[in-house]
Structure 1
Amino acid sequence: MSTFKDADEVYAYIGKAMEACVSDPKFVEATKDGTLVVLIKQTDPESYILVDFPGQKVLVGDAAAAASSTVQLRMSSDNANRFWQGKLNFTLAMAQRKVKLDGKRTTAMGLLPLTGPIFETYKAILTEAGREDLLVG
């Protein structure tokens, strides 16, 4: 059984954390001259989140699935939940094929060091929503 009951929960929690990414000054600075648009495709439940760094916006659902992206990231919603809490080693997960990354890989991998502050934001979003059950120990 999945961590999330439906795609709306994925959007409410992970989507909200992605909105923090596109407004975070470090991400804005690191991506301002680029074309990085990441489509996060998640399974269990199926969901789509598009993170448009140059446009500083996040789309979810069908709008995200239909939009153009430069990087596609595929993983289960459970692995996404773990990753955004800093509990999933991204490089190891890719080697184990738990996470698949297509497109401009070097650009996306270059942003990994900036993700630390987003972990705390995501955990705060879960806590504020009363979803401590999603927190990974």
Structure 2
Amino acid sequence: MGKSKYFKNKEEFVKVMTALCDRLKCDPKVGADVAKANVIVRFEYSDPDAAVTINGRDKPETPGDFISYCWDSKTPEPDVVMINSADFSHRFWHGKENPMLAIAMGKMKTKGDAAKALALLPAIKPAFKIYPEVLKELGRKDLVL
């Protein structure tokens, strides 16, 4: 495995992705649409190694949230696991990666029902505008592509 072009270490990557997840989980468009899909997706990242599980099935404990997430946990059991590099994820959240093409080319691997995860693409499309905003809010304008 290589080294991330964008993130110094796992802590930096998790900080950025946590800020994004915090915005999306209560977003009335993205969060609500992901919850309607009734799916649990785990993203397993490399370079750096990390995993986040997005739970769109179970009602979140926090009022106002539509979905929940947790880092580096094997529960709840996901419907699908998406496996890719942190750099791929960074480009994806900018709207610069095509997951279907990435799967075909081996840049992204899946376990389980990949169709369920790919069906979320229309729901998460508004996040492509939110992600650069999150980076700027974190003082990481240098990461905006």
* TM-score range normalised by the length of the shorter chain: 0.7 to 0.9
Question: In the TM superposition, what is the alpha-carbon distance from 1:30 to its structure 2 partner?
Answer: 5.0
> Structure 1, residues 72-92: CA drift from partner, whole Å, max 9, x if none?
010000000000110111111
The TM-score with structure 1 as length reference comes to 0.85
Equivalent residues of 2:37, 2:120 under 8 A apart: no
CA distance in 1, matches of 2:108, 2:119: 16
CA distance in 2, matches of 1:98, 1:33: 25
Instruction: State the match for 1:80 in structure 2.
Output: 89
Equivalent residues of 1:13, 1:122 under 8 A apart: no
Which amino acid in the other structure matches residue 4 of structure 1?
F
* Matching residue within 3, 8, 12 for 1:5: 8
Instruction: State the match for 2:35 in structure 1.
Output: 31
* Matching residue within 37, 40, 43 for 2:46: 43
How many residue pairs get aligned? The number is 132
Where structure 1 has 5 or more consecutive residues not aligned to the other structure, the ranges are none
Matched, 1:135 2:139: no
CA distance in 1, matches of 2:45, 2:37: 28
Whose helix fraction is larger, Structure 1's or Structure 2's? 1
The TM-score with structure 2 as length reference comes to 0.81
Where structure 2 has 5 or more consecutive residues not aligned to the other structure, the ranges are 59-66
> Structure 1, residues 55-84: CA drift from partner, whole Å, max 9, x if none?
3211013xx2x2121110100000000001
Please give the root-mean-square deviation of Cα atoms over the aligned residues, in Å: 1.7
Which amino acid in the other structure matches residue 51 of structure 2?
Y
> Identity across aligned pairs (percent)?
30
CA distance in 1, matches of 2:138, 2:34: 30
Name segments (4+ residues, structure 1) moved above 6 Å: none
Instruction: State the match for 1:90 in structure 2.
Output: 99
Instruction: State the match for 1:59 in structure 2.
Output: 70
Question: In the TM superposition, what is the alpha-carbon distance from 1:102 to its structure 2 partner?
Answer: 1.9
